[in-house]
Structure 1
Amino acid sequence: MTTTTDIQPGDLADERVIRLLEDHLTDMFATSPAESVHALDVSGLTVPEVTFWTIADGDVILGCVALKEIDPTHGELKSMRTDAAARGRGLGARLLEHVLAEAARRGYRRLSLETGSQDFFRPARTLYAKYGFRECGPFADYGLDPNSVFMTLELESSPHGAGSAL
């Protein structure tokens, strides 16, 4: 059976989106110490420097992702989540490709992210590495944290970087 999934600006007042974000935060707090959880809640996603999208199949919200502008040349991947029931369908890659295309469109030279160091986050780290992200030190306002892995991608040199059609 073929399904169509669309990535659209996310509605942070939508109960389905709120549930997805609550599930995300629940997993983050269950996996990492509270001081090491950097996931954004709904209020953190509503600030002007953050753009938020969802991926849906019809009326079913399957995942979300956000892009935070650190400065005019540097963006941060935030709040990437695929609903547990929809994992293994390549939706994470679709969301990541969407953000990479948007970062290139905005003229960012670098895209960075913070994720957990625990095994729970291994699939995410593997996906990011597949797209050319490499481990780096803390960026923006982050500090060293044994529960965090920081990764970055120079967009000009990435296989999916600026100028590529994803």
Structure 2
Amino acid sequence: MSSTDFAAPAIRFELRQDDLSGAQIRALLDYHLRQMHANSPPGSVFALDLSGLQAPGMTVWSAWRGQTLVAVGALKDWGDGTGELKSMRTHPDHLRQGAAAAVLEHIIDVAHARGLSRLSLETGSGEAFEPALALYRKRGFRNGEAFGDYTASVFNQFLHLQLGTSDAVL
């Protein structure tokens, strides 16, 4: 596994490209899926299970503080210059400590390095999704049209970040 350090305000995280074999990462991804189903109407969950995160074109990173997993996020390469942010989740014991921001910044940096022109995501609506939406919007993501093989619904929403000089933090 490769790793990169990211300094969040007053807290340091180690970011690792993750092979998804560890118990902590599997438990956090299981928690993520349970939360998506608990906070979404039937048929509206597009979160990936373990096999989906291990598919070609997918890269997963985990954020660690010492031996403790604090967050996860993934990048799916659609092969058309678009990258999709997937499976962003902070462990509930480590919320609002900068871990999600560290993972997001790392994924944006990797998308830049891979030459992607846009980073997109699909997420839900409602109170459970507001903290993540605030993070994405603060970083410059804007609401837009459905992409890839998604179909718009009343519940889901799509955010996009154009990569290049226009993706500076607002």
Indicate the TM-score class for this superposition, using the shorter chain for normalisation: over 0.9
Deviation for aligned residue 1:4: 3.5
Where in structure 1 are there 5+ consecutive unaligned residues?
Answer: 161-166
Report the counterpart of residue 39 of structure 2 in structure 1: 31
| Poorly superposed stretches of 4+, deviation over 3 Å | none
Amino acid at match of 1:101: D
Deviation for aligned residue 1:104: 0.2
Q: Answer yes or no: is 1:45 the counterpart of 2:53.
A: yes
- Check whether the contact 1:76–1:112 (CA below 8 A) recurs between aligned residues: yes
Report the counterpart of residue 163 of structure 1 in structure 2: none
Task: Let me know the Cα RMSD of the aligned residues.
Answer: 1.2
Structure 2 Cα separation of the partners of residues 70 and 39 of structure 1: 16
Question: Helix, strand or coil for the counterpart of 1:17?
Answer: helix
Which one of the candidate residues 126, 129, 134 is aligned to 1:118?
126
Could you state the TM-score of these two structures normalised by the residue count of structure 2? Answer: 0.90
Deviation for aligned residue 1:101: 0.1
- Check whether the contact 2:70–2:90 (CA below 8 A) recurs between aligned residues: yes
Report the counterpart of residue 155 of structure 2 in structure 1: 147
- Check whether the contact 2:11–2:97 (CA below 8 A) recurs between aligned residues: no
Superposition pairs of residues 1-166 of structure 1, within 5 angstroms = 4-156=12-164, 157-159=166-168
Report percent identity of matched pairs.
41
- Check whether the contact 1:11–1:17 (CA below 8 A) recurs between aligned residues: no
- Check whether the contact 1:136–1:152 (CA below 8 A) recurs between aligned residues: yes
Structure 2 Cα separation of the partners of residues 102 and 72 of structure 1: 16
